[in-house]
Amino acid sequence: MEISITSLNKIYPNGNQALTNVDLEIKNGMFGLLGPNGAGKTTLMRILVTLMKPTSGSIIVNGMDLDRNRKAIRAVMGYLPQDFRFFSKLSTWEFLDYVAALAGLKERKKRAHAVDEMLEKVGLFDVRDRQANKLSGGMKRRLGIAQALIGDPKIVIVDEPTTGLDPEERIRFRNLLSDMSQRDIIIILSTHIVGDISSACHQMALLDEGSLVFSGSPDELIDMAKGNVWQIKAIDSELEDIKSRYPVISTIPSDNGWDVEVVAKKLDGYPGTAVDPNLEHAYVNFMEFKLGRTWHGEAV
């Protein structure tokens, strides 16, 4: 699978420009779309799943223009929106069976088998007879995942993947998706949480205020932060000053005070040890130094 997005713009009727000249190539595997709230992620996802048209620009899926082949492309897509809800009184099993029929699984026996299998996969088989809208929050989210994955989609889009999931469920969900991503499939995770971009995402992009500011591998983003992450051993009275000088990533209590991780090109006045950056550091580093955000009062 291949998705090719060119010069995509979206201006809402009230004049809000949610996307500005977005160019993006997405290939097989897991793709992480990261950006703060309001960056335009949901807008881009809704355009991709054909729920909304862009103001201008094009999207080509495997050589087919999305706008001219909406039905065919929709048939190979699975989508889990941020605010997925059930309005039906169907049981969990019936609901998934219904979605599977819509996804093109016509033959009853085969469909029933696929439904059973998917309910096993997401851990809902035991509650298959329970009314779908009476499931717990986490279970509803899992049923949402199941309905996005059923019918062998080639493109799966998940908006804010970990919303409503507890830590154990997050791991289960991540494993489920990375198992699936071994095939000819594109899985797009759209999120404002850096931790959702799992190690299985080999491709990622950063959206900010409607513009694509980075696209590449997580490792490339991490490389940019090398030499810019420090751990400072601080005492109570120094904490406020450190917070006002640098973007602080974490503050952990230690023997004589605090271990504070900061992003900075150099530390003036505080002795620090260099830290190997992770993706979270890399994201803050990018926002701070590449986008010139005035995190602590000075443009960089």
Residues that bind ligand ADP (CB under 6 A): 12, 14, 16, 18, 35, 37-43
Place of tokens 């996307």: 19
β partners of residue 5: 24, 59
Q: Which is nearer to ligand ADP, 13 or 253 (CB)?
A: 13
Of the pair 18, 260, the CB lying nearest ligand ADP is at 18
- Do residues 196 and 237 make contact, with C-beta atoms less than 8 angstroms apart? no
Which lies closer to ligand ADP via its Cβ, residue 40 or residue 277? Answer: 40
Q: In this structure, what token pair is assigned to residue 255?
A: 């023997």
Residue environment code for 68-82, b if the CB has 16+ CB neighbours within 10 A, otherwise e: ebeeebeebbbbbbe
Q: Which is nearer to ligand ADP, 20 or 62 (CB)?
A: 20
Q: How far is the CB of 36 from ligand ADP (least distance, A)?
A: 7
Q: Distance between CA 145 and CA 117 in Å, rounded? A: 13
Q: At its nearest, how many Å lie between ligand ADP and the CB of residue 13?
A: 7
User: In the chain, where do the E strands start and end?
Assistant: 2-11, 17-27, 29-34, 56-61, 64-65, 77-80, 155-159, 186-191, 201-208, 211-216, 229-234, 248-254, 257-263, 272-274
**Which is closer to ligand ADP, CB of 14 or CB of 294?**
14
Question: Least distance to ligand ADP from the beta carbon of 158, Å?
Answer: 13
Which candidate, 109, 122, 47, places its Cα nearest to that of 77?
Answer: 47
Q: Give me the least distance between CB of 12 and ligand ADP, in Å please.
A: 3
Q: How many CB atoms within 10 Å of residue 224?
A: 17
Q: Say how far apart CA 34 and CA 205 lie, in whole Å.
A: 6
CB of 211 to ligand ADP, least distance (A): 11
Nearer to ligand ADP (CB atom), residue 41 or residue 140: 41
Name the minimum Å distance from CB 209 to ligand ADP.
Answer: 8
